[in-house]
Amino acid sequence: MTRMSLGRGLTYLALSLVSFISVFPFFWMIIGATNTSADVNLGKMSFGTALFDNIAHFFSLFDVPRVLLNTAGIAVAGTALTLLVCSLAGYAFEVFRTRYSERLFALFLLMLSIPFSALMIPLFIMISRAGLINTFAGVILPGIASIFIIFYFRQATKAFPHELRDAARIDGLKEWQIFLYVYMPVMRSTYAAATIIVFMANWNNYLWPLIVLQSNDNMVITLIVSSMRSGYNPQQGAIMVATIIATLPTVIIFFLLQRRFVEGMLGAVK
């Protein structure tokens, strides 16, 4: 048993070390938010007194609540649509496989590798011709069918017991009902992980909103944070405040959804 507890001790030690390394930057960010720009540049590692000045400065530059609302709207709508479209496709690519769908899927995977910067100019022309510049739809639409997420759902579906599907069909459920009432609940931890990933990607998306969005009223959080960084003398303290505000929602989403994993674990133990 000592060998066991030694192993356990090492696990705790390793996890604590990794956790510390992972969290440290966030601690540093919070310290930075309380210091003046000059102190942040000097790498001061203790709390300062400039927090309220920094917050005031940030809020004086931008209409922060509006920007957060825009970002949240885009992230929530984009995430919901992506999950629906991609889980349907990922499920179908695995369960209803045909020779043609397999070839199509291989083609899809190949496209995953095109760097976005190579597509930006054609995409911009398309969105612009469609009259979607400076609209949220223009930001959301090109990202909905994410091959990455389709691929993820397909791989996860490989673990979906097909006996469940067979049983549901014997009970007379239609295919869409099986998807809705059997697949979705069973795969909830997959959905939870995908939600985190897709929400995060939408919330932190920068390059494409930058190209599509034009007016101050439609700005998203990544755009205003990055606009604070350029210029000759960026206000580091205020940038830290902005960064914290920009990071918080994804952390909260993760906190809320990670309980799904725990539930899954408890279920397995029973």
Partner 1 sequence: MNRMSKGLKRSLAVALAGVSMFSVTAASAVEVTVWCWSPEFNGAAMAAAAEAYSKINPDVTINVVDFDKGALEQKLQTQLAAGITDDLPDIVLIEDYGAQKYLQSFPGAFEALNGVVDYSQFAPYKVELASVGDQTYSLPFDSGLTVLYYRPDILEEAGYSREDLTGITWERYIEIGKDVEAKTGHKMTSQDVADPGIIRMMLQSAGSWYFTPEGEPNFVGNPVFKAAMTTFQNYLQSDIYKPTSGWNDYTGAFIGGEVASVNSAAWMVGGIKGNPDLSGKWGVVPLPALTGVDGATNYSNWGGSSWYVIATSPEEEKAAAIDFLTKVWGGDVDFYQKILVGQGAVGSWLPAREGEAYSSSDEFFAGQPIWADFSTWLGQIPGVNYGLFTNEADDAVRAQLPALADGANVDEVIAAIDAQVRQQIQ
Partner 2 sequence: MRLPNTEVTFLGAKAMAASRLSRGELINGWLFMAPAIVLVGIFLIFPILWSLWMSFQVGRGMNFTFGGFANIVRLTQDPVFQRALGNTILFFVVQVPIMLTLAALMAVALNDPSLRFRGLFRTAIFLPCVASLVAYSALFKSMFADAGLINNALLSLGLISEPIYWIRDPFWAKVLIITAITWRWTGYNMIFYLAALQNVDRSMYEAARIDGVPAWARFVYITIPMLKPVILFTSVTSTIGTLQLFDEVVNITEGGPADATLTLSLYIYNLTFRFMPNFGYAATVSYVIVVAVAILSLAQFYIARDRRKS
- Give residues in contact with partner 1 (CB under 8 A): 36-38, 40-43, 61-62, 120-121, 124-125, 128-129, 133-134, 207, 210-211, 214-216, 223-224, 226-236
Instruction: List the one residue from 77, 80, 109, 133 that touches partner 2 (CB under 8 A).
Output: 109
User: In this structure, are residues 95 and 165 in contact, taking their beta carbons and an 8 Å threshold?
Assistant: yes
Residue 251's binding partner out of partner 2, partner 1, none, with CB under 5 to 8 Å set by partner kind: partner 2
Instruction: List the one residue from 76, 121, 167, 180 that touches partner 2 (CB under 8 A).
Output: 121
Residue 2's binding partner out of partner 1, partner 2, none, with CB under 5 to 8 Å set by partner kind: none
* Separation CA 2–CA 111 (nearest Å): 52
Helices (H), 34-115: 37-41, 51-61, 64-95, 99-111
Residue among 22 and 233 whose Cβ is closer to partner 1: 233
Mind giving me the DSSP string for 163-220?
HHHHHHHHTT--HHHIIIIIIHHHTHHHHHHHHHHHHHHHHH--HHHHHH--SGGG--
Size of the site for partner 2 (CB under 8 A): 102
Task: Write each residue from 44 to 83 as x if it is in contact with partner 2 (CB under 8 A), else as -, in one continuous string.
Answer: ----------------------------------------
For residue 63, what are the CA distances in angstroms to 119, 217, 234? 32, 8, 19
Task: Write each residue from 145 to 164 as x if it is in contact with partner 2 (CB under 8 A), else as -, in one continuous string.
Answer: x-xx-xxx--xx-xxxxxx-
* Separation CA 65–CA 62 (nearest Å): 9
Residue 14 sits in the site that holds partner 2 (CB under 8 A): yes
Task: Write each residue from 172 to 201 as x if it is in contact with partner 2 (CB under 8 A), else as -, in one continuous string.
Answer: ---xx--x-------x-xx-xx--xx--x-
* Separation CA 270–CA 264 (nearest Å): 10
Question: Both tokens of residue 207?
Answer: 């390059």
CA angle 204, 194, 113 (to 5 degrees): 70
* Separation CA 157–CA 191 (nearest Å): 11
Residue 179's binding partner out of partner 1, partner 2, none, with CB under 5 to 8 Å set by partner kind: partner 2
Residue among 5 and 60 whose Cβ is closer to partner 1: 60
Residue 14's binding partner out of partner 1, partner 2, none, with CB under 5 to 8 Å set by partner kind: partner 2
CB of 65 vs partner 2, minimal distance in Å:
19
